[in-house]
Homo-oligomer: A and B are copies of this chain.
Amino acid sequence: MRIVDIRETAIPLKSKLANSSFDFNEMTTSVVAAITDVVRNGKPVCGFAFNSTGRYACGAQMRARFIPRIIAADPDTLLNERGDNLDPAKIFAVMMRREKAGGHSERSIAIGTIEVAVWDAVAKIAEKPLYRVLAERFSGGKVPMKVFCYVGGGWYWPGQTIKDLQDEMRRHLDAGYTLVKMKVGGLPLEEDVRRLEAVLQVVGSGEHLAVDAPCNFTRDEALRYAKALSPFKLRWFEEPCDPLDFALLAELAGVYAPPLATGENLFSTQDVENLARFGGFRADRDVIQIDPPQSYGIGQYAKTLDMLARHGWRRSSLFPHGGNQMSLAIAAGFGLGGAESYPGVFGDFGGFADDARIADGAITLSDRPGIGFEGQAALYKIMRELAGI
């Protein structure tokens, strides 16, 4: 049993979205296919993944370093103890050969995407959904039937009216979501507060609304927003400043009582531990939103969860970034707080299985083996063509 080839293709996201600090016009993502010599139904088992959204494609690193290291390794050294499946940890270790300490994001996105594709293959070889494989391995076998899921929306659009924004939020509620997230920081504070109050009219109260700032507030701006947002008791206030400015995060945690959130721009377990140690983040309420395929993959995510547990964090405080079937499988398999959703936003790369259903804020899980991309027709077409199956 072996991986015979790993292929990558960079695909534009084709998103016209803008948040208040950057736009997605040039944004790409790396789609990866890990092709094995295991045959099921007359076809090779292939694992698929993509590098989530918000970070550019990274096929060059894959082709120069990580894919050749895997393909050059003795295949028997990449199998589990029983020899009946691939071992993602051993494949990860091979990718990390000849890599220097630090400098995580230069490699963590490429390695993490390949690693998640390997997990997809592992679950397909085991003929189980990935969330079930993860639950058995990392969560005492507890398999949920559905996962809490909220909508990341409320972006700024040219010409957008307050009513447009309210209509968008109404659509999310009608679709079955109970928590929505909107952008702040793209307009002066007073106008942002007006937008927020309009959305609150639709969703009812702060517990049904989170806000997402663009990471670029100065200290003064962050403190002003914290003060203005505080009375609304929102579900969380996300990315209120530079994601590595642990001193300012700690200062905000000292003055802003409702939950804060961050983590999608941290790419290593050590960075997340620094957030826990120095960022003032409160294990009893705050939210951490690591993106597993962008930060070395699922095995490293498990290590990050163990580290966070030592700092008193529960898994229910973790919401993986992404809004795709990879984060959904991870949220389900590890028993996390929930997943996010970007309906209709990131082209073929946002969203879940075509037959997934949302009700009462939760999304159903399918029993397709692996991550379940086979149930997402438009995305799976790209993946199937890449693998040549």
Q: Name A residues whose Cβ lies closer than 8 Å to a Cβ of B.
A: 10, 21-28, 54-61, 64-65, 97-106, 109, 214-216, 239, 242-247, 265-268, 270-271, 273-274, 277-278
Contact = CB atoms under 8 A, between A and B. Distances in A.
12 contacts: A21-B100, A22-B98, A22-B99, A25-B98, A56-B106, A57-B64, A59-B60, A101-B239, A102-B244, A246-B274, A246-B278, A277-B278
Nearest to A97: B22
Main secondary structure of the interface of A (DSSP, over half): loop
Contacts of A21: 100-101
B106 A55 contact: yes
A242 B54 CA distance: 27
Nearest to A268: B244
Nearest to A57: B64
Given A101-B21, A101-B215, A26 B65 contact: yes
A144 B104 CA distance: 36
Given A26-B65, A56-B61, A101-B239, A274 B244 contact: yes
A307 B367 CA distance: 53
Given A22-B98, A65-B56, A103 B274 contact: no
A111 to B, nearest CB: 12
Given A106-B106, A278-B278, A100 B244 contact: no
Contact of A102 (B10, B26, B57, B215): B215
A208 to B, nearest CB: 27
